[in-house]
Structures are given as C-alpha cells and as structure tokens.
Chains A and B, each alone.
Chain A
Amino acid sequence: MASAVESLPVSGNHDTSEVRTCETTTLPVCLTAQQFIRWHAVVAVVFLLVGGIGALLLGLTRWPAVHLLDAQWYYRILTLHGLNMLIFWILNFEIAVLYFAGTSLLNSRLASKKAAWACFVLMLVGAVMVDVAIMQGKSDVLMTSYVPLKAEPHFYLGIILVAVGTLIGVINFFATVYIAKRDNTYEGSVPLIVFGAIAAAIIAVVTLLHGAVVMIPTWLWSMGLLENVDPAWYRITWWGLGHMSQQVNVCAMVSIWYLMGTLTVGAKPLNQAVCRGAFVLYILFINIASAHHLLVDPGVGAGWKIWNTSYAMYLAVLASMIHGFTVPASVEVGMRAKGFTRGLFGWLAAAPWSNPGFSGFFLSVIIFGFGGGITGVVLGTQQINIMAHNTLRIPGHFHVTVVGGTTLAFMALTYYVVPLLFQRDFYGKALCRLQPYVFGGGITLMALGMSFAGSYGVPRRHWDVEFTGSQLAMGFDSGAYTMLGVMGIGSLIAVVGLFMFILLVVAAVFVGPKIDGQAMKPWHEERQAPADAAAVDEDDHRTPGTLVLALVFLLTFAVYYFANWMWLADVWEVR
C-alpha cells in the first residue's frame, strides 16, 4: 500500500489504507472502487453468458435450414437475449467504467460505498427478477414490451429496479467527480476519458428518467391499477429510454477507444478541444432519438419526424464522424512518433495486431463506423425508413453498433481490466489474441446476412419465414434464404468468439495466476522502428493515413446513402 499520492502532483483524497498504486500504469487505484468494479464486471459477464446462450438458440432458429426452437420459445428467448445483452451486460460494464474513470483517473476515492452497494444490489435483484419473469413464461413481450402486450408485474418492476440502481451508480460517479474537484485531487481539466464518461453519465440520467416515466405507469397498468396506456405515447417515451441508452453506449465506447489507444500504443489525441467538443455535441444534439423508431408511425407528423431525426444538421452524427477520425489519428500520431513513418499505412501495419486490447478496439472502430454508423444514419432517414422499419435490416444495423462496436470495445478493455484490477493473468494467450477476430468477424458476417435478408423484406422478430399455417400463403425470394444462411453461420462464429471470451475471462478471474504487486505482462513486444526512419516529433500532427481511411469511409457512406434513395424511388407512391 505504498502511497499513490507521492507520485502525483497533488495529494488525492484517499485514506492510505484504501488505495494502491497500479504497478503497470502508476495510476492510483481506490480499493473500494476496485471491489465494485470487479463485482459489476463479473455480473456483467454472467449476463453476457445468458444472453450468449440465447444468441446461439436464436441464430439456430432464424437459420431456416435449422429452425431449432418452437415459436413460443423463440419469442421467450428473444426477450431474454435482448434484455440480458443490451441492458444487463452493458449497464453493469458501464457502471464499472464510470467507477474507474471517476477514481483512478481523477485520483479520488469513490464518493459513497453505501450508494455503490445500493446500486449493485438493485441492479442485480432487478435483473434476476426480469429473467425469472421471462422464464416463468408469462412475459413473452420482447425487450420493447409494446403495450397492449402485457407481461407480469415483476417483469416491469425488475426493469424499474435496474434503472433506479443504475441511476444511483451514475449519481455516485457524479459525486466522485465532485469530491475530486472539491479536494483538489487533480490539476487543470479532467482527462479526456473522464470527460467522455461525464458525457455518457449525463445522457444516462436523461435516459433513465424516460425509463421511469414510461415503466412506472406500465407497471401499474400490468397490476390493473391503471386502465390504459396509450400505445403511441408508450412508443415515443419508451424509445426515449431505448434509443438514448444507445447514445450512452456510444459515448462509453468512444471513451474506451481513447483509453485503449493510450494503453496499447500510446495514442495521442491531436486536439483535445475537438475530441471534447464532439462529446459536447453528443450531449446537446442527441436527438429526441425515439424519432428513429417512429418514422413510419401514426400519431406523429412528418415535420416532427424530419426535425427529430436530423435536428441541428445531424450534429450528433458529426460528433461520431469526428471521433471516427480522431481516434485512428491519435494512434497514427503515437505510432509515427515511435518511428513507424513509412508510407501512408506503415504505422497501421506495424500496430500490435496480436494484442487483443488493440485488435479488439481497432476492429470495434472499423465495424462501428463502416457498419453501424453508416446503416444507422441511412435507416434513420425518414423516407428511407419505409424500406427498413421492422425488417431484419434493423437488427443488422444495431448488431454492428452495440455488439461489433460497444461489446467488442468492452472485450478489448477486459483484456486489461483482468490483469490490472483483478490482478490475475490469462491462460491461453494465443486464444485471447484470436478472440477479437473471431467475434468481430462473426458478428460482421451475421449483420451482413441480416441486412441483406431485410432488404428482401424478411421481418425482424419473426419465427417462421415460411409463414406456416397462414390463411394466405407467403414466401420469400430464394436470395433471402441464402442471406439467412449467411446470418446463421455468422451468428455461430460470433457465438464461438463470445464463448471463447467468457471462458478465458472466467478462467483468468477465478483460477488465473495471481500477479499482485507486479506489472502486467505486456500483450505485445514493442517492435523496433526501422533504423532508417526518422522519428517524427509527437507534436507533429500530420495524419495522411487516417485522412485516406476517412475519405474511403465518406465515399462508402455516400454510395450507400444515395443507393437507398434510388431504391426508394422505385416503390409505390405514398403520402
């Protein structure tokens, strides 16, 4: 317990028995925060496993050649999969990230241990309650639980408890940022990653309040205490929770991109004002994002839809496009400063692709940008949404944002969280190095299959593309079946990558070699820069390679965007 405070310019606010210094990063580690980070991470991975088993069953059901589950179990497992993955896995991981950012990066203690307990217990109890309700079989309402579909009251109550628990965790984070400021534990502005975490937390508060506004009346309605919940009102408010929470994920993911760039290759942001400005754009211009889900709904008009899907000139999209540039650019600057200056992409070729922290993070950037980002904006265009709403194009989009993007970034970070905060080493490092490629590759293939199947009209959340038992027969083009096969194979590969991750992490956390008191073994050997290369000053901000990548991205974006307008011009006229 050597004091962390001496190595830092200002004294932290830690009790000396409550802090250690990280041997690898020299950052201070608040032991209370570490404890809760560990618990939230473990619980997160358990929910990831539940959701992953669901993913396997769903992939094997929607692959027409297999069609594993019966209809009832398909919808039940679909409900389970959505909530465990999108809510329980991600929120638990995000609380862990907030605790880390608030304490280690600000040299502060966690503000309240009691609040951390309350957050943890509520989130866990709520999630278990939801999962029990689903498996009891009377809450097959899918993640969105659109009224007047009705679940058991404890299904809604569980979600409310998770939301309240998360809110307490977020407030504890704000309190930590506050006491760090009050106690002068750091000098100057907060680090970029803390800034991103604060942005995520602010959006999370707004999101969770929407959740309370929609879920409490629905809960009362499920118990018969309220007569009616308007379905249009439910949709608009539920998506204030459902979509905005994805912006929390984006914020958290981008912060982790910056963190992983720093930890793996010493990435250096070019201009922090730009990076921070982009986070501010997220806070200010995160749409009344529920609009994206209501673009072909009754109850709201065209003007409302157009404004809310694009307001202030897509400034939230601009923010993502900025991060999509500055993150690889910061890697390029860091690598060029080490002497990897050859050509446009010498820095990228020399990057540590065998380090799962790096490969996971960089693949996350690519998959999120080229896959999730582009499809998201296009599908969220009011008129183009006619050809996408509730088809498989939608899950084809969000599996490359929240899975290939957010979850893969979280996985990359986990390869550092386990040695640094659990102080355990991994077994099977070759498998660790392979895992991000398997997972990233599988999820990308799956999402491509989904997107193209959706273009053939195949609906999402639908058990049988043969429409067995329908009065009026219906079938899809054979191309749709090919694409559903691609989706099925991709989902199997992704699930293999997911189970690899869980196995490796569980083995490391519970029986991995203890490395207390030592620096973690680096994931990659530092490569020697070519001897003839003149190292570039790290204040030299030329990033030609990243600019070329960004231009390729913009071109891809434009082609996909205008192609969709062309396809739209071919369907029936509608006003």
Chain B
Amino acid sequence: MSIHNPPAGWFKAPTGAERLWVGLALSWCIIMSVAMPYWHFYGKQNPTGESYKVSVQDFGQRVGEFVRAHQVGDEKGIPIVEVPPGGDGYMLARMWSFYPILKLKKGQTYRLHLSSSDLQHGFSLQPLNMNFQVLPGYDHVLTIRPTSTGIFPIICNEFCGIGHHAMTGRIIVE
C-alpha cells in the first residue's frame, strides 16, 4: 500500500507486463529523441535561433535603409518592399503593426531579420501557422524559402498591450 512503509526487500527488478511496458516506453523515448536531430539533417524546417544583439536605434536605421532601397509600392501608407532573392529582408514589430509589407518570390531563399522597437511580440504567419518570437534588442534571423504563393497575413501572438489584437502585417509571395 502506498500509504504505508513498504515491506523490506521492495527494491527489486520489475517483471511481466510492467517490465515490458518500461522497455516499450524507453524505446519510444529513444525514437523521439532521435527524431529531432534526424529532422535537422533531412527535414526542411529547422530554425537555428540565429540571432544578434542589436540596439533599437540600429535596427530601426537598417529597416529605414532597407525600405528606401527596395520599396516597390505601398498599401494604406505602409511601404511594400521587394526583398532581393538571396538577400536580407527586415521586419520591425512595434506597437501595433509589422513594418513594412514584404514581397517575396516563391522558391527563393531570404534572410528575414525580425526585431522589436518596444515590447516582446510574436511573429505568426497565417494561414501557414508558422510562429516565431520577436524580442527587443535581438535581431532574430530566419532563413526562409517560401514554397507557396499568395497573400500571407502576419498576426502578433505575444501580448503587447491594449492594441495587441489589432497588430497585423503582411507578406506577399509571387
């Protein structure tokens, strides 16, 4: 009984079904722990967490330069910026929008830089449902390759104050 002191000699190896289950469970745990490194070599979705310390001012400046160099249009006053294939794209999360709108090409690879100028934010690309954390002071670099075309809304999914629910952005893939 679990509420009483166990009889002497309780320390012994399991037998029967219990022993079988411990073996099965351990095997399953080993399979799962191999799966993650396996996917790093053979899968295509493996964020490495590449990131650099960056000041809010520096990142803001880089976003500004990026927009000036590559802007191709605007929507509702928000610049639409075409990222050069293989190049760097910048997106600033701030209360309460993602700036600017990015334009990408399917099948090309991009280095996407994410940072925040105020609070923590969540970069959530819909309807793919790909989610990454955005922190002030950190340049979070994701090397992405879009495999589908269309207009992909971005929503913020880290609480960032009273306007959090209205914080959206956009990536366009052609």
Query: Which residues of A line the B interface, CB within 8 A?
Result: 25, 27, 71-72, 75, 105, 140, 142, 146-149, 186-193, 230-232, 235, 258-259, 261-263, 266-274, 294, 296-302, 304-306, 309-310, 313-315, 317-318, 321-322, 325-326, 329-330, 377, 381-383, 386-391, 455-457, 459-464, 467-474, 476-477, 541-544, 546-547, 550-551, 554, 557-558, 561, 565, 568-569, 571-575
Contact = CB atoms under 8 A, between A and B. Distances in A.
Contacts of B82: none
Given A313-B33, A471-B76, A474-B155, A266 B1 contact: yes
30 contacts: A71-B164, A75-B159, A146-B158, A191-B1, A262-B1, A273-B14, A274-B18, A274-B22, A297-B140, A298-B51, A298-B114, A300-B49, A302-B46, A304-B49, A310-B32, A318-B22, A388-B131, A457-B128, A461-B164, A462-B165, A467-B166, A474-B126, A547-B20, A557-B28, A565-B35, A572-B125, A572-B144, A573-B144, A573-B147, A574-B144
Nearest to A150: B119
A318 B25 contact: yes
Interface string B5-37: 111101111111110111011101110110111
Given A191-B5, A573-B144, A75 B162 contact: yes
Interface in B91-139: 96-97, 101, 114, 118-120, 122, 124-139
Given A187-B5, A462-B164, A568-B45, A299 B153 contact: no
Given A272-B6, A314-B33, A389 B131 contact: yes
Given A75-B159, A391-B124, A383 B45 contact: yes
Nearest to B49: A301
Contact of A386 (B24, B33, B131, B153): B131
B interface secondary structure, majority: mixed
A547 B21 contact: yes
Nearest to B11: A273
Contacts of A313: 26, 29-30, 33
B49 A474 contact: no
A469 B147 CA distance: 30
Given A146-B158, A317-B29, A575-B142, A273 B13 contact: yes
Contact of A390 (B3, B46, B122, B162): B122
Contacts of A271: 10, 12-15, 18
A557 B28 CA distance: 10
Interface of B: 1-8, 10-18, 20-22, 24-26, 28-30, 32-33, 35-37, 39-40, 43-51, 75-76, 78, 96-97, 101, 114, 118-120, 122, 124-140, 142-148, 153, 155-170
A472 B168 contact: yes
B145 A191 contact: no
A298 B140 contact: yes
A166 to B, nearest CB: 25
B21 A262 contact: no
A383 B41 CA distance: 12
Contact of B166 (A262, A469, A547): A469
A262 B3 contact: yes
Nearest to B171: A572
A41 B33 CA distance: 40
B49 A299 contact: yes
Contact of B75 (A258, A472, A551): A472
A561 B32 contact: yes
B129 A456 contact: yes
A23 to B, nearest CB: 16
Contacts of A460: 157
B120 to A, nearest CB: 5
B25 A322 contact: yes
Contacts of B140: 297-298
A387 B168 contact: no
The 3 closest A-B pairs by CB, nearest first: A298-B51, A459-B157, A298-B140
